[in-house]
Amino acid sequence: MVQEKTDGKDVMLAPIQQNRPALSWEKKIGKKMKMVTPCLGRFRPVVGQCCHQCTPDSLQKEPGPTSPLGFKNLLSIEETQTRYRGWLVRRVCCLLFVSGCKIYANPVSNRLDRVCQSQRVKEALTAEHNAQEGRDGQGQLSRLSPLPPIVNTCISPGFLRFLSWVMLKMFSSVFGSIQVNLDHLRALHRASQEGSPLVYVHVRQCAADFALIPLVLFCHNLRVPYTVCPLHIKSSFIRSILQKVGVVLLPSSALTEQDAETDPLYSPVMTSLVRELLDESQAISVGVSAESGRGGRWLAHVTQLIKEGSVSDVSVVPVGISYDCVPETNTQIGVGSLFRWLWSLLWRSPDRSVRIHLAQPFSLKEMCDSGRCRVDDWLPLQDLLLPVIFNNRDCVFGQRRMSWLLPPPHYATESGEQTHRERDLSIAIILHLIHSAASCTAVMSTSLVSSLLLFRHRKGVRASALSRDVAWLTEELLFRNKDVGFGGSLEDVVRHSLSVLAPHLVITAAPSRTDPVIVPRPSPAASLHLSRYAQIVTHTFIPEAVGACAVSAMLCELVGSGLSSRVRSGGVDGEQVNGDMEFDVALCQSKLTERALQLCHLLPPGFMPPCQSACSFALDAVDSLVRCGILIMEEIPRDVPICDFWKKEGALTWTTSDDPYDSDSDCEAQEQDSRCYKISQPRQFPELLFFLCAMLAGHLRTLCWATSSLDLMHTPLPEAEFVALMHSHLCDTASRAKQHYESCSEEAAHMAVRSLIDLGVLSEERRRGGVSLSVGPLFQSSENRQKLQRFISQYLFN
């Protein structure tokens, strides 16, 4: 195993259990394989740096460590971490370590009164006709029930130390190690000492996320944050304990966040609570859903307070959490479910690992006021794509507006609903933080193997070939400055990944062969499980995936037009081709970039940073294929050189402009027009091209299936019922095809419905009982729906 020096100790990078009996198929994996190192050269990739475009001042203030500081296993507690020594200390060192950790003061006096007396809450009460003139604080308190217990959430030092000790013991039974990146901890300590409140943001994966971040900060003597937890806790006993360690729960009467937000008093009370916490210099931890944007409203509260001037500034810290096996948890937790889960820990071997990256803190006020995260060019998706789909016009330049991430009815200020620009800015910050948290998340070995089995070897692969692909893909990830959460011999990495993913794989090994065959299990549960782990790899290769799908679309157009590419070979006899084929196809850069730009508008949220324009991202996507070797740049020969101005007709004209991006010649523009690309040799590019195309195939296939299933829908229907019916149709389509089950998850159905609404295929109608969905007037025609389906399916490789 690869080890790193951290604080004078050797820290194991991957907690792969060595001393355990090998399974029969594991013995057949070769013993002499090369090592997999989690670094290129001598250093690991430095991840988690703040955006150089949106927050350049924060980047200069905290440039980060000159060399990586390594990792520390949170579960490896020794006597050297305490003030005591001796044989007895070594047996109770965890308890002594917890008792010695620093806990910051937590003043909560009169917080509830201050929240009740805030202007925002008073206006909300008046608007609902629930407050009478002259009503005192106790009267308001009765109207705000059951919100006062949430406002009175505090951090008790005794409860915090006890629960931290319990969680360390509990996690040691679940995980073999919890590796914490130490690169930016010094910057977090400095930001905490300067008095700026810290807001930690992570992408939701499971319930363990909400416990890991406070535990990591507690063990490193940082201020424990108030954790926003969206789980429904039924037991009043568990709720009272969690509220004494800073867990902000949902109201007891609300099952989900959507139910809580239907209360008109919930949003103003939570905004006032956030203001009080930030005024007390308390830290806050928020989890955001990458699919639906749930949890982003808390970030909108913080942004709203900064724009109003109620809070001077906060330091935002994206957090990346990666599991090689995500723990299964229930969204509704009671005493019985808690004891059943604790009992299951007794029969589980702790061979799983977690990797946590705390990114560099940056100023949220700088991001809001700098204007670098622009939202001026945000347009509805139907304005961006419908002219292309129906009229074959050029693509409209702009960014897709995802207003559903922050619905307007619940986003109001004291003077009324905020403007579209302010709301779009809050949405841009949410998208930026989702992208930043995903960017600093490490790729675990199970994610790497899942992506290979799902995108490259769906029909099966031998262990030796899978091992070679694991080594290749690891180098590609490191080359893209992506951290990996494993290291050691290739045999151990592959064996550990296959043992974790074994319930979702079919592994066969004939007695006469020493190389077993691994095939993904053809079931919906297995496909959805592998797809969930492979998502972080797709996030890393998203520019290449977009560019590959654009190339596939242009090749489909070439085949559909009846044209054939010229083939050069060693010998040609009639229609028989001998030797290596070479496609003599020239792909125009402008056309290829336009296809990539159209596909960018269909991407799910979080894959593309909002501070980068879609056009710039499309150009990067095409350039990334050149770096991969899929495309070869080629220029069209001309009689006159492009920049030979003396041989051009007409005289030179000079212009003055203050635009720094304005060029004094049209040389660059003509060079862009004349640039084209050729596809490299089929022996080199097809597998890589198909591998990249398959990364987005699941999302695009869901959109195609959703569009075709509209013929079976009887609208209008309530939104929740419509999404459930759409999910059922997607599952039926995958069952009939007996494949592509990753395209029929609940998250995929929800995302497909949101995309169809943005495209104008579905129209929303707000009624008293909620929102109803029906097919829009333009797409009542089956012909128009078929046009949309053909437009999306062109990016699906065949």
467 has a pLDDT exceeding 70: yes
pLDDT in tens, 323-342: 998 887 665 666 566 666 66
**Confidence at 84, pLDDT banded by 50, 70, 90:** confident
pLDDT reported for residue 417: 44
Evaluate whether 501 touches 449 at the Cβ level (below 8 Å): yes
pLDDT reported for residue 728: 94
| DSSP per-residue codes, 397-423 | PSEE--GGGS-GGG-EETTEEPPHHHH
Evaluate whether 335 touches 240 at the Cβ level (below 8 Å): no
Prediction pTM value: 0.86
pLDDT reported for residue 33: 53
pLDDT reported for residue 771: 84
Average pLDDT over residues 312-322: 93
pLDDT in tens, 421-452: 788 888 999 999 999 999 999 999 999 999 99
Q: Is 496 exposed, middle or buried (0-12, 13-18, 19+ CB in 10 A)?
A: buried
Total Cβ atoms within 10 A of residue 139: 15
574 has a pLDDT exceeding 60: no
pLDDT in tens, 686-734: 788 889 999 999 999 999 999 999 988 888 888 889 999 999 999 999 9
Q: How far is CA 332 from CA 231, 232, 266, 336, 337, in A?
A: 6, 5, 20, 11, 9
pLDDT in tens, 507-547: 887 776 678 899 999 999 999 999 999 999 999 999 999 99
Q: Is 247 helix (H, G, I), strand (E, B) or coil?
A: strand
Q: What share of the chain is helix, strand, coil (3-state, %, to 5)?
A: 50, 15, 35
**Confidence at 685, pLDDT banded by 50, 70, 90:** low
Token pair 């910051």 is found at 104
**Most confident option among 133-137, 382-386, 567-571:** 382-386
For 303, how many CA atoms within 13 A lie in the half-sphere containing its CB? 24
pLDDT in tens, 638-663: 655 545 544 444 444 444 444 444 44
Element (H, E) at 217: helix 208-219
Total Cβ atoms within 10 A of residue 484: 27
Instruction: Give the rounded percent of residues in the chain with a pLDDT score beyond 90.
Output: 34
Q: Is 386 exposed, middle or buried (0-12, 13-18, 19+ CB in 10 A)?
A: buried
pLDDT reported for residue 345: 58
524-540 and 420-439 helices cross at what angle (nearest 10)? 100
3-state secondary structure 735-747: HHHCCCHHHHCHH
**Confidence at 247, pLDDT banded by 50, 70, 90:** very high
**Confidence at 61, pLDDT banded by 50, 70, 90:** confident
Q: How far apart, in whole angstroms, are the C-alpha atoms of residue 495 and residue 486?
A: 12
686-708 and 746-759 helices cross at what angle (nearest 10)? 70
Strands 770-775 and 717-718: what pairing? antiparallel
**Confidence at 238, pLDDT banded by 50, 70, 90:** confident
pLDDT averaged over the chain? 80
750 has a pLDDT exceeding 90: yes
**Top-confidence residue, 86 or 756:** 756
Strands in 706-759 per DSSP E: 717-718
**Most confident option among 81-85, 267-271, 291-295:** 267-271
Lowest pLDDT segment from 36-50, 213-227, 261-275:
36-50
635 has a pLDDT exceeding 60: yes
414 has a pLDDT exceeding 50: no
Total Cβ atoms within 10 A of residue 465: 16
67 has a pLDDT exceeding 80: no
Which runs of consecutive H residues, i.e. helices, occur in 634-685? 667-674
pLDDT reported for residue 636: 62
Q: How far is CA 515 from CA 59, 459, 461, 504, 600, in A?
A: 50, 16, 10, 19, 41
- 652: alpha, beta or left? (left if phi > 0; alpha if psi -120 to 50): beta
Q: Is 286 helix (H, G, I), strand (E, B) or coil?
A: strand
| DSSP per-residue codes, 491-536 | HHHHHHHHHHSGGGEEEE--TT-SS-EEEE-SSHHHHHHHHHHHHH
Instruction: Give the rounded percent of residues in the chain with a pLDDT score beyond 70.
Output: 77
**Confidence at 287, pLDDT banded by 50, 70, 90:** very high
395 has a pLDDT exceeding 90: no
Total Cβ atoms within 10 A of residue 755: 24
Token pair 């915090």 is found at 160
289 has a pLDDT exceeding 70: yes
pLDDT reported for residue 755: 93
Q: Is 568 helix (H, G, I), strand (E, B) or coil?
A: coil
Q: Residue 672 corresponds to which tokens in the numbers above? A: 């862009």
The dihedral of CA 520, 525, 531, 533: what is its sign?
A: negative
Average pLDDT over residues 133-139: 50
pLDDT in tens, 178-191: 999 888 888 898 88
710 backbone dihedrals φ, ψ, rounded to 5°: -65, -25
Q: Is the peptide bond before 716 cis (omega within 30 degrees of 0)?
A: yes
Token pair 């047996």 is found at 91
